[in-house]
């Protein structure tokens, strides 16, 4: 097959490209060439998808069997791309997110849960909002139709080349050793999916010309936060690391050392009513369609190997807090704050 990847050079796009090439597909990527280097064997076309002239240059004289859109951010952007590809590709996969659902993370969701009411013709350059993902989906469906469109609502992606830096942060924190602040209940379960498993599933559906919508993440209850941290400790070889489990209420207490969920301790989602459904998305439809998820230990091991090959983060201080190549999102608690909290616990 001839496949066009919108994005295609970093993390999810890279995983799609690697899997597609391994299956013998012909792959074209379209991106600005700023995030990462395209894999060998790819036809790389440079351009900005917000620029109609760049998109017109991309499609001029080219046709593809399928498009995979891993970089959909603004509905107007997606509508422009889809319109110019309408007669140039047979199938369009748009990678959306659980953020597109109006009830997430407050409630348990499935594919039939209501979406945010964001129209496909939403004006460009809107500030980030979860609703924009729903508008991106509508833009594809309005142009390609339900019969030629596949919507994959992604859960949280992890694995080698991770951009968000959540699994890398925990691995690197474990490697530094000492007492580690472990938040909440170790038995609380979570839903994360290896980016490579996502790409395998997405390409399986694409090659079968599957249409429809799939919540694409690991099944609920498959991994606990305690298992997450223990695995990270083992993979990083952190024999002198001690996990200090602290209840949600202590970390959320008002004061200068209140800990922010999710960002200061990555993937920590306290037991709060507004987060009831955060790790409980219904994956039955995706599993029935063939989604398979590798053990977390394999993902953690491969990510640690990538981190070691990448080498130390540039301009990093002794506590590992500054520049982190490949991590666009600043993650992790300040070491001094972590030490204060742990000292207060005795």
Question: What confidence tens digit (pLDDT) does each residue in 146-205 have?
Answer: 999 999 999 999 999 998 899 999 999 999 999 999 999 999 999 999 999 999 999 999
The mean pLDDT of 56-75, rounded to a whole number, is 95
Inside any domain, residue 58: yes
Q: Report the DSSP pairing between strands 223-224 and 189-190.
A: antiparallel
- Given a cut of 90, whether residue 80 has pLDDT beyond it is yes
250 and 104 in one domain? no
Tokens of 321: 């807090």
Same domain, yes or no: 150 and 230: no
The verdict on residue 283 lying in a domain is no
88 and 174 part of one domain: no
Residues 131 and 240 in one domain: no
Q: What are phi and psi of 199, to 5 degrees?
A: -65, -40
Whether the per-residue pLDDT at 259 is higher than 70: the answer is: yes
Q: Is residue 261 part of a domain?
A: yes
Residue 312 and residue 171 share a domain: yes
Residues 104 and 78 in one domain: yes
Neighbours of 256 (CB within 10 A): 6
Burial 306-323 (b: 16+ CB within 10 A, else e): bbeeeeebeeeeeebbee
Task: Tell whether 257 is covered by a domain.
Answer: yes
Looking at residue 97, the DSSP 8-state letter turns out to be E
Q: Both 110 and 76 in a single domain?
A: yes
Domain identity same for 247 and 335: yes
**What per-residue confidence (pLDDT) applies to 313?**
55
**Final residue of a structural domain among 102, 130, 154:** 154
Contacts of 100 (CB under 8 A, 6+ apart): 115, 116, 130, 131, 133, 134, 137, 153
* Number of domains composing the chain: 2
198 inside domain: no
Q: Which residues of 168-205 are buried (b: 16+ CB within 10 A; e: fewer)?
A: bbbbbbbbeeebbbbbbeeebbbbbbbbbbbbbbbbbb
Q: What is the CATH number of the domain that holds 243?
A: 3.90.25
pLDDT tops 70 at residue 305: yes
pLDDT higher than threshold 60 for residue 336: yes
Q: What is the pLDDT of residue 331?
A: 82
Which of 130, 154, 178 delimits the end of a domain? 154
- Domain containing residue 39: 2-154
Inform me whether the pLDDT recorded for 214 exceeds 80: yes
**Do both 333 and 186 map to the same domain?**
yes
* Same structural domain, 13 and 132: yes
Minimum mean pLDDT among 19-28, 72-81, 315-324: which range?
315-324
Indicate the pLDDT class of residue 256, thresholds 50, 70 and 90: confident
Position 321 pLDDT exceeds 50 = no
**Residue 254 falls inside a structural domain:** yes
Percent of residues, the chain, with pLDDT higher than 90: 83
122: in domain: yes
Percent of the chain with pLDDT over 70: 94
Mean confidence (pLDDT) of the chain: 92
User: How does pLDDT run across 95-118, given as a tens digit for each residue?
Assistant: 999 999 999 999 999 999 999 999
Kindly state the average pLDDT of the residues 137-145: 97
Q: What is the pLDDT of residues 26-53, one digit of tens each?
A: 999 999 888 788 999 999 999 998 899 9
| 9 lies in the same domain as 148 | yes
pTM for the full predicted model: 0.93
Question: Domain for residue 204, yes or no?
Answer: no
Q: What is the reported pLDDT for 320?
A: 41
């Amino acid at each position: 097959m001839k496949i066009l990847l919108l994005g295609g050079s970093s993390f999810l796009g890279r995983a799609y490209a690697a899997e597609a090439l391994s299956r013998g597909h012909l792959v074209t990527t379209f991106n600005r060439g700023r995030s990462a280097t395209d894999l060998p064997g790819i036809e790389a076309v440079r351009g900005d998808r917000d620029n109609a002239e760049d998109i017109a240059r991309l499609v001029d004289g080219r046709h593809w069997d399928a498009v995979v859109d891993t970089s959909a951010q603004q509905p107007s952007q997606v509508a422009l791309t889809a319109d110019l590809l309408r007669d140039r590709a047979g199938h369009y996969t748009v990678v959306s997110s659980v953020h597109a659902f109006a009830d997430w993370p407050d409630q348990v969701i499935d594919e039939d849960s209501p979406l945010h009411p964001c129209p496909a013709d939403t004006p460009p350059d809107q500030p980030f909002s979860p609703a924009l993902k729903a508008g991106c989906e509508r833009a594809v469906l309005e142009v390609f139709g339900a019969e030629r469109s596949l919507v994959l609502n992604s859960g949280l992606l992890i694995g080698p080349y991770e951009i968000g830096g959540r699994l890398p942060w925990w691995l690197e924190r474990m490697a530094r050793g000492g007492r580690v602040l472990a938040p909440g209940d170790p038995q609380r379960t979570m839903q994360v999916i290896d980016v490579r498993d996502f790409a395998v599933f997405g390409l399986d559906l694409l090659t079968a010309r599957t249409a429809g919508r799939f919540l694409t993440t690991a099944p609920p209850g498959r991994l606990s936060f305690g298992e997450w941290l223990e695995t990270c400790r083992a993979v990083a070889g952190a024999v002198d690391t001690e996990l200090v489990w602290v209840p949600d209420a202590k970390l959320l207490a008002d004061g200068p050392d209140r800990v922010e969920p999710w960002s200061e301790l990555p993937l920590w989602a306290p037991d709060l009513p507004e987060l009831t459904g955060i790790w409980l998305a219904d994956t039955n439809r995706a599993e029935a369609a063939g989604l398979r998820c590798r053990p977390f230990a394999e993902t953690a091991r491969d990510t640690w190997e990538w981190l070691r090959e990448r080498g130390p983060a540039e301009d990093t201080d002794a506590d590992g807090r500054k520049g982190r190549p490949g991590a666009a999102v600043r993650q992790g608690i300040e070491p001094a704050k972590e030490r204060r909290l742990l000292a207060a616990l005795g």
